[in-house]
Amino acid sequence: MTTTTAPTRNRNPRNGRGLPLIIYACSIAIFFVAWYAISARFAMPILFPGPGRTFAALVQLVEDGSLAEDIAASLARILAGFALGSILGLILGLLMGASRLIRFAVDPYVNFLRFISGIAWIPLATMWLGLGESSKIAVVAYVTVFAVAINTLAGYGAIPLARIRAARALGAGRRQLFFMVELPSCIHFALQGMRLAMAGAFLTVVAAEMIAATSGLGFLISSSRQFMATDTMFVGILTLGALGFAVDKAFLLVSWLTLGKYRLAR
C-alpha cells in the first residue's frame, strides 16, 4: 500500500548518533554565555541579574526549602487539574465520536469555550470555588478538557473504515466495536492532546497563582516584584521551563511504556 518516498536527509538515526547531544549542550552553553553578556551590559544589575546572581538566589531558595514547596504546590495543581481534565476530555471526546447526537449537541459549546482562555475564568473561579486549591484545579482542568476532547474526536475520525467493517464482519456488536476498535484507535490521539494540554496547564496555573494564591511558582514570581527580587523571579521563570521540560519527557516515557503499542495505531 505504501509507496516508497524519496530518501530525505538524515532519516537514518545512525547518522551522527551522538550529534544531537552535542548540539543540545552547545546550544545551552551559548545561552548561558549570552545571558552573562547581556546582564553585564545592564547599568543596573538588579533589573537583569546574571547567571551568578540567579544561581545564588537559587541556592538560597533551595536551602530554605521554599523552592521545593512552590514546585510541589504548582505541580500538585497542574497534575490534579491535568488528570481531571484528561479523564473528562477523553470521555467527552469518545462520547462525541461514538454518538452523532452528542457530537452535534456538544460541538457548539466545545468550539465556543475553547477560545475562552482559562485565565479569563480565574476571577470567577475564585469567587465560586474560593481561594483554595479547587479553583486552580478547576481552571487547569478546564483548559485540558478541550485539547484532549478535540484530539480524541480527531482520532475517531481517523479510524479507517476497513478497520470498523472488519470488526463488524467478525461479529462485533456496538460495545465490542467500541472497546476493541474505537477506543484503542483513539488512544494515540488522546495522548497527543494531553501533551498539548500540559503546556496550557502550565500557563494557566501560573496566572492563577499570580492572581490568587499564597504558594506556587507563579506566586514566587509575582511576590518577588514587591522586593525587586529579580533574581528570584529568574529562578521562578527558569524553574517553570525546566519543570515543563521534565514533565513532558516523563509523560512521553510513561505513555510509551504503558500505552506504547497504541502508538502504532496511526
Partner 1 sequence: MSHVSLSGIEFRYPGKGKSLAILRDFDLEIAPGEFVVMIGPSGCGKTTVLNLVAGFEFPSQGRVIVEGAEVRKPGADRAVIFQGDDSLLPWLTALENIELGPRIAGMARGERRKLAIEHLKLIGLEGQGHKRPSELSGGMKQRIQLARAMVCASRILLMDEPFGAIDALTRAALQDELAALWERTHPTVLFITHDITEAILLADRICVMTPGPDATIAEMIPVTLARPRDRSLPEFGTMYGRVHAALSKSHGQDARAASARP
Query: Does residue 257 belong to the site contacting partner 1 (CB under 8 A)?
Result: no
* Residue from 75, 84, 243, 265 in contact with partner 1 (CB under 8 A): 265
Triad 231, 235, 237: Cα angle to 5°: 110
CB 10 to partner 1: min, Å: 22
- Piece of 127-135, 143-151, 170-178, 224-232 that binds partner 1 (CB under 8 A): 170-178
Q: How far, in Å, CA of 70 to CA of 61, rounded?
A: 10
Give the contacts of 24 (CB within 8 A, at least 6 positions apart): none
The count of other CB atoms within 10 Å of the CB of residue 242 is: 11
* Residue from 37, 46, 180, 254 in contact with partner 1 (CB under 8 A): 180
Q: Which is nearer to partner 1, 106 or 167 (CB)?
A: 167
How long is the chain?
A: 266
Minimal CA–CA distance to 218: which of 32, 78, 59? 78
Query: Does residue 225 belong to the site contacting partner 1 (CB under 8 A)?
Result: no
Interface with partner 1: number of residues (CB under 8 A):
22
Q: Which is nearer to partner 1, 94 or 210 (CB)?
A: 94
- Piece of 110-118, 178-186, 228-236, 248-256 that binds partner 1 (CB under 8 A): 178-186
Taking each helix axis from N to C end, the angle separating 133-157 and 122-129, rounded to the nearest 10 degrees, works out to 120
